[in-house]
Amino acid sequence: MDPKLVKILARPLPRYTSYPTAPHFNANVGTAEYDRWLSALSPDARLSLYVHIPFCDTLCWFCACTTKITRRYAPVGTYLSHVCAEIDAVAERIPNGVSVSHIHWGGGSPDILSTRDMARLSDTLRSRFIVEKDAEFAVEIDPREMDEAKIAALAQAGLTRISLGVQDFDPKVQTAINRLQSFEQTRAVVEEFRNAGVHSINIDLVYGLPHQTTESGRQTIEAVIALGPDRVATFGYAHLPNRIRHQRLIDNESVPGIHDRLALSQMMSAHLRDAGYVQLGVDHFCKPGDSMASTPLRRNFQGYTTDTADALLGLGASAISRLPQGYVQNAVPIADYQRRIGDGGVATARGLAFTPEDMARAFAIETLMCELRFPASELCREFGELGVAIAREGERLAAHASDGLVEQVPDGFVVTEKGRPFLRALAAEFDAYLDTSKTVHSTGI
């Protein structure tokens, strides 16, 4: 690849799961704003609920998630009581009539919850909110922690989609990231969920892990395809040992460089496409019949989603909410979160109130990341003079046309297949907050 393009890919950039991105949230937004924004929701608004369970029982050394390792259940049970208290407090603040179309439990590993606490969390959500009959209910799980009773408890709670962490099946890679997980173990969990009536399965993979090679990556992707998941996410490993201390347990020398990362990512994409999967956005794939293939794609903190709810409410430590007026984030340390819930029912520590410019830029960035196009005409139509100014900035993309990353079309630009791995770099052209000298991001692929 042209060294100029490699340099673009190697640039540390946000993943644009939000705009403005989380490092720009600040303490000017707190509980007062959250209270106001919740009570201003329209009674016919539809909500998406995200519950964060920040616990795992072993540490994967590559992990960048907000989680804490515990071998005891007591802290998990205590935490869950606080989450239930937060659910009560938030539900009290929203107008009657607001309904819930999506529920997502993420982490950490929500499967660490006991079957009793799974039922308690689900019952609390369903008793405090109007959950629509055909609402989606997805849970992220670590297949190493699953047993029949937990699978039955999740199915009983109305689970519609399960998201399993796999990362890589090569024992050498697994040893280097402290995560031993066999194919057989994973297949058994997939089958048990299917037998329990949960037919929508997502698998997470990571490329760029220590000791990964295109050959080992190929074996992993073939094994994953054999499991027949409906969706696959292939995340680029975010190796940030300066910020994430436990990643220092991984030998830097064993982490593939930018050329190998690109080769791994392209190999995985090609195998998934050859197996009939549709590629979406930067790193998601789905079967042609999956709702993701036919519904407009959106970007949120979990990556790509079909969720079109009017607001996303995040519950639990570190969880982020997106309301029409802006973002709010709960306190990250579990003790701080629990203290705030005890004091006032909610735990907002920071956030960001959207300016009209933020909204116009967010629209441009989300459209690029999801639909692979820069919507110049829509910007002008929907955001007036501001939109016209940002549409004009779109001309910056013309510089990428000569490299074949984008093509100019009458109403803006479209990103080519060659340009897909560069989506974060293209989106960064419209990020007014970007200062890579201050915040730490992973490489653009």
**Which residue of 117, 136, 170, 204 would you call a contact of ligand SAM, by CB under 6 A?**
204
The answer to whether residues 415 and 373 touch, using CB atoms and an 8 Å cutoff, is yes
**Which residue of 14, 107, 110, 444 would you call a contact of ligand SF4, by CB under 6 A?**
107
* Residue 60 is a binding residue for ligand SF4 (CB under 6 A): yes
Residue 235's binding partner among ligand SF4, ligand SAM, none (Cβ under 5 to 8 angstroms by kind) is ligand SAM
The answer to whether residues 265 and 258 touch, using CB atoms and an 8 Å cutoff, is no
Q: Which is nearer to ligand SF4, 60 or 135 (CB)?
A: 60
**Which residue of 38, 63, 118, 328 would you call a contact of ligand SF4, by CB under 6 A?**
63
Residue 366's binding partner among ligand SF4, ligand SAM, none (Cβ under 5 to 8 angstroms by kind) is none
Residue 59's binding partner among ligand SAM, ligand SF4, none (Cβ under 5 to 8 angstroms by kind) is ligand SF4
Q: Which is nearer to ligand SAM, 207 or 430 (CB)?
A: 207
CA count, 13 A, side-chain hemisphere, 317: 23
Binding mask 33-72 for ligand SAM (x = CB under 6 A): -----------------------x-----xxxx-------
Nearest residue to 136 via CA among 59, 222, 230 = 230
Among positions 65-104, residues that touch ligand SAM (CB under 6 A) are 65
Residue 204's binding partner among ligand SF4, ligand SAM, none (Cβ under 5 to 8 angstroms by kind) is ligand SAM
* Residue 107 is a binding residue for ligand SAM (CB under 6 A): yes
Q: Which is nearer to ligand SAM, 107 or 412 (CB)?
A: 107
Nearest approach, Cβ of 207 to ligand SAM (angstroms)? 9
The strands making up 326-330's β-sheet, listed across from edge to edge, are 278-280, 284-286, 231-236, 200-207, 161-167, 130-141, 99-107, 46-53, 311-315, 320-323, 326-330, 348-353
Nearest approach, Cβ of 270 to ligand SAM (angstroms)? 20
* Residue 108 is a binding residue for ligand SF4 (CB under 6 A): yes
Nearest approach, Cβ of 69 to ligand SF4 (angstroms)? 7
**Which residue of 65, 196, 275, 332 would you call a contact of ligand SF4, by CB under 6 A?**
65
The answer to whether residues 201 and 162 touch, using CB atoms and an 8 Å cutoff, is yes
Among positions 120-159, residues that touch ligand SF4 (CB under 6 A) are 142
The answer to whether residues 38 and 94 touch, using CB atoms and an 8 Å cutoff, is yes
Q: Nearest residue by C-beta to ligand SAM? A: 165
Nearest approach, Cβ of 402 to ligand SAM (angstroms)? 32
Span from 233-241, 266-274, 304-312, 356-364 in contact with ligand SAM (CB under 6 A): 233-241
The label of the residue with tokens 């340099």 reads: 7
Nearest residue to 268 via CA among 232, 304, 297 = 232
* Residue 59 is a binding residue for ligand SF4 (CB under 6 A): yes
Size of the site for ligand SF4 (CB under 6 A): 11
Residue 14's binding partner among ligand SF4, ligand SAM, none (Cβ under 5 to 8 angstroms by kind) is none
Nearest approach, Cβ of 103 to ligand SAM (angstroms)? 16
**Which residue of 109, 181, 186, 367 would you call a contact of ligand SF4, by CB under 6 A?**
109
Q: Which is nearer to ligand SF4, 65 or 353 (CB)?
A: 65
Residue 45's binding partner among ligand SF4, ligand SAM, none (Cβ under 5 to 8 angstroms by kind) is none
Nearest approach, Cβ of 85 to ligand SAM (angstroms)? 23
Nearest approach, Cβ of 183 to ligand SF4 (angstroms)? 17
* Residue 167 is a binding residue for ligand SAM (CB under 6 A): yes
* Residue 316 is a binding residue for ligand SF4 (CB under 6 A): no
φ, ψ at 244 (rounded to 5°): -110, 100
Under the rule (CB under 6 A), what is the footprint of ligand SAM? 56, 62-65, 106-109, 140, 142, 165, 167, 204, 206, 235, 237-238
Under the rule (CB under 6 A), what is the footprint of ligand SF4? 56, 59-60, 63, 65, 67, 107-109, 142, 165
